Amino acid sequence: MDWKRSNTPSQKSSPEWDKTSLEKAADNIIEVSAKKQTTLPIKMYVVAGLIGVGVYGAVLGGEYVVNNPDVLNGWRHSLENHFQQAITNHAPDDFAEVIKVKPYYLLAKRYDGKYELRTGGRAAWRYNNPGKLVHGNFTRKMGDLGSDGKLALFPSYGLGRRALEVLFFETNDFDYKKSTIKEAMAAFVPKSEYHDPVKYTAAVAKSVGAPPDTKMSDLDNEQRRNLLNEIENQELFIHGTTNVFNDQVDFELRGW
């Protein structure tokens, strides 16, 4: 599928805020402060959430009187560092590095040092990419490890799922969140030998219990989850076989 389609850390490590949004917010504050060239009272509370474990970062900033854009630049760097910490707080069984990928085969080294081999199944499962997002700037920002030449490879299912959620409902990089279900699916699923956008849209609309002309932004949390679940279903998130090896030597002895 083409770039229009490209755009749940494990559930233990997903940020609530995407980095682009934080940067834009900080830039806007800096711009206003610089233009006014006066003291600007700012109460800036930013909390980075680690989904799944309920751990929340400390408040960055506080209530300050700011007349120096450099101070705000410092805040932005702090936010960036906090974001990076959130997406790099991986679970032991998350992929740290993809060593080899070929049709129906993926070998990765995990954060616990073990080697995981996935064979069979479908790409959405092997790549931890339930939406089959194409590798690019957006997926890199969401923490992918590279690609198979086209599709993004994520460290965990949670990160791949989170990328799909941000794509449709949060990021300003694309227009999905401003679109209707029908418009969003038409852009996400160009007609191909694999998908019929009309049938795809009908299935997604049915899953959320809303007509295709419903705005994506009007969907409640449960409907959003159902929409993502149906996309995962349409993209054939089908498990294959997983084999785990203690280390590289063990893989070389028992793997293939």
Which amino acid makes up residue 124?
A
* Residues contacting residue 133 through CB under 8 Å, at least 6 positions apart: 5, 6, 7, 139, 151, 152, 160, 163, 164, 167
Average pLDDT over residues 39-48: 34
Average pLDDT over residues 3-20: 40
The pLDDT value given to residue 195: 84
Residue range 175-224, pLDDT digits in tens:
999 999 999 999 999 877 678 999 999 999 999 999 999 999 999 999 99
At residue 189's C-alpha, the angle toward residues 183 and 228, to 5°, is: 80
Going by C-alpha positions, the residue among 31, 57, 33, 30 that lies closest to residue 46 is: 57
Question: For 225, what's the count of Cα atoms within 13 Å in the CB-facing half-sphere?
Answer: 3
The pLDDT value given to residue 180: 97
Average pLDDT over residues 85-113: 89
Q: Is 208 helix (H, G, I), strand (E, B) or coil?
A: helix
CB atoms < 10 A from the CB of 128, how many?
Answer: 26
Residue 69 pLDDT > 50:
yes
The pLDDT value given to residue 190: 81
Residue 17 pLDDT > 90:
no
Lowest mean pLDDT among 60-69, 76-85, 92-101, 229-238: 60-69
Report the alpha-carbon distance of residue 144 to residue 118 in Å, rounded.
17
Average pLDDT over residues 62-89: 52
Q: Is 24 helix (H, G, I), strand (E, B) or coil?
A: helix
Could you tell me whether strands 40-43 and 63-66 are parallel, antiparallel, or unpaired per DSSP bridges? antiparallel
Phi, psi torsion values for 84, nearest 5 degrees: -60, -40
- For the whole prediction, is pTM greater than 0.85? no
Could you tell me which residues are beta bridge partners of residue 243?
Answer: 117
Going by C-alpha positions, the residue among 102, 61, 55 that lies closest to residue 79 is: 61
Residue showing tokens 């030998």: 193
Which amino acid makes up residue 143?
G
Report the alpha-carbon distance of residue 230 to residue 238 in Å, rounded.
13
Average pLDDT over residues 72-89: 54
234 within 8 A of 205, measured Cβ to Cβ: no
Q: Is 216 helix (H, G, I), strand (E, B) or coil?
A: helix
The pLDDT value given to residue 12: 36
Report the alpha-carbon distance of residue 7 to residue 49 in Å, rounded.
23
Distances (CA, A) of 65 to 45, 48, 151: 14, 23, 46
Average pLDDT over residues 225-234: 97
Residue 15 pLDDT > 60:
no
The pLDDT value given to residue 68: 54
Residue 135 pLDDT > 60:
yes
The pLDDT value given to residue 56: 31
Report the alpha-carbon distance of residue 231 to residue 209 in Å, rounded.
14
Task: Check residues 24 and 231 and name the one with the higher pLDDT.
Answer: 231
The pLDDT confidence band at residue 116, using thresholds 50, 70 and 90, is very high
The pLDDT confidence band at residue 255, using thresholds 50, 70 and 90, is confident
The pLDDT value given to residue 208: 97
